[in-house]
């Protein structure tokens, strides 16, 4: 035992530092092991069993790859995966575009921009669930604002239930997701824009560059690193987005808004098929992991080729 | 010169901003209007003659009724007697999550901000990788874990996962604050013979108070916002339900009392909105400081 303790005694100054640093990190790291890492391993293990309500606490049988075969071979699986990526792609694109537009507007030198910056934030500050309750009412078929509006403008002949039809429910969910995600993207783009050195703009201005040209050739390349990281972060969160869809449609109508994460929740929590649910959870993690790696590799290549953001360092 | 806009330009900027803000605030405005309308007005459609289509005036009539009042803000406490309890639970859970998570965040952020040590980058990356996992992916084992400790249907069932999923972001935010505190101060303390822990407690923490407040507020807002998934899966007990989960039950009623539901929602978000209003400037600059530096 004494030798064991001896082994961990610091011998140099840098070792002392390392040990002190790790002692400070240990509590947080332990929580992560307990609440994230261990459950992650458990999910992985459960995905190979037929665990259900009766066998949750033990006694489930090992079934090998059966859950995976059933999940991936399932009739609906390809549609769900395609839908999830389409959902992610659509929502993230709109968040990025709206975020860029919003940040550019808010960065302009006009009166009242302080107040306007604050007014853009509420969708992010307010609990997601509560914002969604507002949207459920907005989308209401007979009495909702949007239904009344499209009827007035003449797009539809009568009341229109946005959440009742497959197509409209899906795009309605996208709109709500964009609404919730845009403020944060806007804020980070705005901060990045304010970090761009002023003299770059001045030099370009003196050379007679137009506003659009300055945006395209200075602002965009300068904030490209922020755009790239926000897009990835946003993609991961949108992929994982649960509350919005669940409150608006619970994955319906007829599965039209069922993404992978909704499918996971439905299988595991609603049908008590814990093994099959865990399989879907593992697939979510795997797909996201592969996606992130591909995204970063492709971007790394592109950066080398076109030297995006190369101006600043 | 460069920042001067022509009149047309100015009008364009203000008009686009107005549209942008309208999109961001529309649901809240409509929630507020709905909360003022009596329920029979809420569930009435503009009176149209046979063959007539809805016009602008008919459309606008939905925003106005002679009987508009704050009645829903009084009635909601009767319809849902547990409402005060829900609001208390929300604030309580968010406060507990904030306090607990800060206990883990502060030392770890200090270590990352101040020391170079083996495994620094790797472990920080691993912390941040936690953001990749949604709570929904880990629900089953978390359910199992909480059940085996007998913590299902208690406040802990919502506090513990809440803390865990906020720690990584908190470390990241606080780290960039601590990095701004000049290192010379610590060296001076070291030279005077202060221990590492003493330096942390007496030199760094007092200087870090503004940063601690900003990160604390961010954690509170985050904790307030995430009270849905864990609440509907790990807790069936009405006495411990946070507001979003409580209001979600409204939707299940046969006729949804939308005016009261909207009133309750708005009252429920008041705590975070007020905090945000007071802290807005510091919060925004604090949250983005990490992004700007890169």
Percent of chain A exceeding pLDDT 70 equals 92
Beta bridge partners of A62: A49
Cβ–Cβ below 8 Å for A194 and B147: no
Number of structural domains chain A divides into? 1
Give the per-residue pLDDT at A194.
84
The pLDDT confidence band at residue A149, using thresholds 50, 70 and 90, is confident
The pLDDT confidence band at residue A46, using thresholds 50, 70 and 90, is confident
Of A242, A237, A274, A275, the C-alpha closest to A258 is A242
Is position A5 within any domain?
no
Average pLDDT, chain A: 84
Give the per-residue pLDDT at B63.
74
- What residues contact A29, with CB distance under 8 A and at least 6 apart? B108, B123
Cβ–Cβ below 8 Å for B107 and A277: no
Residue that wins the pLDDT comparison between A308 and A169: A169
- B21, closest residue in chain A (CA to CA): A120
Q: Is the pLDDT of residue B41 over 80?
A: no
Residue that wins the pLDDT comparison between A29 and B186: A29
Chain A nearest-CA distance from B37, in A, is 12
Note whether A265 contacts B: Cβ–Cβ < 8 A.
yes
Token pair, residue A94, equals 């709109």
Chain B nearest-CA distance from A38, in A, is 8
Domain containing residue A231: CATH number:
1.10.3720.10
Query: What would the pLDDT profile of A180-228 be if each residue is shown by its tens digit?
Result: 999 989 988 988 888 888 888 888 888 888 888 888 888 888 888 888 8
Note whether A164 contacts B: Cβ–Cβ < 8 A.
no
All structural domains of chain B, each given as residue ranges with its CATH number in brackets, are 74-293 (1.10.3720.10)
Residues of B in contact with A278 (CB under 8 A): 140-141
Residues of A in contact with B25 (CB under 8 A): 119, 122
- A56, closest residue in chain B (CA to CA): B144
Q: Residue A267 gets which letter from DSSP?
A: I
The pLDDT confidence band at residue A313, using thresholds 50, 70 and 90, is very low
Note whether A133 contacts B: Cβ–Cβ < 8 A.
yes
Query: Does this complex have an ipTM over 0.90?
Result: no
Cβ atoms of residues A122 and B273 within 8 Å:
yes
- B57, closest residue in chain A (CA to CA): A152
Cβ–Cβ below 8 Å for A42 and B144: yes
Note whether A98 contacts B: Cβ–Cβ < 8 A.
yes
Q: Is the pLDDT of residue B49 over 70?
A: no
Beta bridge partners of A49: A62
Is position A10 within any domain?
no
Residues of A in contact with B134 (CB under 8 A): 237, 240-242, 261, 284
Cα angle vertex A263, ends A262, A267, to 5°? 120
Q: Which of residues 191-230 of A touch B (CB under 8 A)?
A: 191-192, 194-195, 201-202, 205, 225-226
Q: Out of A129, A138, A191, whose CB is closest to B292?
A: A191
Helix and strand numbers, DSSP H then E, in chain A? 16, 0
Give the per-residue pLDDT at A4.
60
Q: How many A×B Cβ pairs under 8 Å?
A: 292
Give the per-residue pLDDT at B294.
38
pTM: 0.86
Residues of B in contact with A190 (CB under 8 A): 288
Q: Which of B87, B131, B291, B292 to mutate to probe the A interface, most A CBs <10 Å?
A: B291
Chain B nearest-CA distance from A84, in A, is 15
Residues of B in contact with A140 (CB under 8 A): 258
Is position A93 within any domain?
yes
Q: Is the pLDDT of residue A86 over 80?
A: yes
Is position A3 within any domain?
no
Enclosing domain of residue A124: 76-306
Cβ–Cβ below 8 Å for B46 and A148: yes
Is position A214 within any domain?
yes
Residues of B in contact with A46 (CB under 8 A): 140-141
Cis amide leading into A269 (omega within 30): no
DSSP chain B: -TT---HHHHHHHHHHHHHHHHHHHHHHHHHHHHHHS-HHHHT-PPP--TTPPP-HHHHHGGG--TT--SHHHHHHHHHSTTHHHHHHHHHHHHHHHHHHHHHHHHHHHHHHHH---TTHHHHHHHHHHGGGS-GGGGHHHHHHHHHHTT-TTSTHHHHHHHHHHHHHHHHHHHHHHHTTS-THHHHHHHHTT--HHHHIIIIIHHHTHHHHHHHHHHHHHHHHHTTTHHHHHH---GGG--HHHHHHHHHHSSS--HHHHHHHHHHHHHHHHHHHHHHHHHHHHHHHHHHHH-
Cβ–Cβ below 8 Å for A105 and B26: no
Is position A35 within any domain?
no
Give the per-residue pLDDT at A243.
87
Is position A280 within any domain?
yes
Token pair, residue B103, equals 């206990």
Is position A23 within any domain?
no
């Amino acid at each position: 035992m004494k030798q064991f303790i001896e082994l961990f005694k610091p011998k140099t100054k840098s070792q002392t530092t390392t040990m002190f640093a790790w002692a400070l990190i240990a509590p947080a790291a332990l929580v992560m092991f307990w609440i994230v890492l261990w459950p992650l391993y458990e999910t992985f293990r459960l995905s190979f069993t037929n665990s259900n309500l009766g066998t949750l606490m033990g006694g489930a049988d090992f079934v090998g790859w059966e859950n995976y075969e059933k999940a991936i071979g399932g009739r609906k699986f390809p549609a769900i995966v395609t839908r999830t990526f389409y959902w992610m792609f659509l929502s993230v694109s709109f968040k990025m575009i709206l975020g860029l537009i919003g940040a550019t507007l808010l960065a302009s030198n006009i009166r009242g921009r302080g107040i306007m910056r604050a007014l853009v934030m509420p969708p992010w500050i307010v609990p997601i669930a509560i914002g969604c309750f507002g949207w459920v009412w907005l989308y209401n078929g007979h009495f909702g604002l949007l239904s009344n509006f499209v009827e007035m403008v003449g797009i539809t002949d009568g009341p229109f239930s946005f959440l009742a039809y497959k197509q409209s429910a899906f795009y309605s969910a996208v709109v709500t997701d964009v609404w919730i995600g845009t403020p944060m993207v806007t804020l980070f783009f705005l901060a990045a824009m304010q970090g761009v050195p002023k003299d770059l703009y001045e030099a370009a201005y003196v050379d007679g560059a137009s506003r659009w040209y300055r945006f395209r050739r200075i602002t965009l390349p300068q904030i490209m690193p922020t755009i790239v990281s926000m897009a990835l972060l946003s993609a991961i969160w949108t992929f994982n987005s649960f509350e919005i869809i669940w409150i608006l449609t619970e994955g319906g109508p007829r599965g039209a808004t069922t993404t992978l994460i909704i499918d996971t929740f439905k299988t595991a929590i609603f049908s008590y098929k814990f093994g099959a649910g865990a399989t879907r959870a593992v697939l979510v993690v795997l797909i996201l992991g592969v996606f992130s790696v591909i995204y970063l590799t492709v971007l790394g290549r592109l950066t080398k080729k076109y030297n995006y953001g190369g101006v600043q360092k | 010169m460069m920042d001067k806009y022509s009149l047309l330009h100015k009008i364009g900027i203000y008009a686009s901003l107005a549209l942008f803000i309208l999109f961001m605030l529309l649901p809240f405005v409509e929630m507020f209007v709905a909360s003022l309308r009596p329920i029979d007005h809420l569930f009435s459609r503009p009176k149209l003659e046979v063959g007539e289509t809805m016009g602008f005036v008919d459309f606008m009539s939905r925003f106005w009724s002679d009987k508009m009042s704050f009645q829903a803000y009084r009635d909601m406490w009767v319809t849902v007697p547990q409402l005060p309890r829900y609001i208390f639970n929300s604030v309580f859970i968010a406060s507990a999550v904030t306090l607990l998570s800060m206990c883990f965040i502060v030392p770890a952020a200090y270590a990352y901000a101040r020391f170079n040590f083996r495994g620094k980058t790797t472990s920080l990356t691993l912390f941040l990788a936690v953001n990749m996992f949604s709570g929904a992916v880990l629900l089953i084992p978390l359910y199992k874990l909480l059940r085996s400790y007998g913590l299902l249907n208690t406040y802990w069932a919502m506090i513990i996962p809440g803390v865990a999923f906020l720690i990584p972001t908190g470390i990241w935010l606080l780290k960039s604050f601590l990095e701004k505190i000049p290192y010379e101060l610590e060296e001076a303390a070291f030279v005077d013979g202060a221990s590492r822990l003493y330096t942390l407690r007496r030199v760094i923490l007092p200087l870090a108070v503004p940063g601690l407040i900003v990160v604390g507020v961010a954690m509170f807002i985050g904790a307030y916002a995430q009270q849905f998934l864990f609440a509907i899966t790990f807790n069936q007990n009405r006495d411990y339900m946070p507001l979003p989960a409580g209001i979600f039950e409204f939707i299940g009623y046969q006729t949804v009392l939308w005016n009261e539901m909207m009133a309750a929602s708005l009252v429920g978000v008041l705590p975070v909105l007020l905090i945000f209003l007071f802290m807005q400037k510091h919060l925004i600059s604090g949250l983005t400081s990490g992004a700007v530096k890169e």
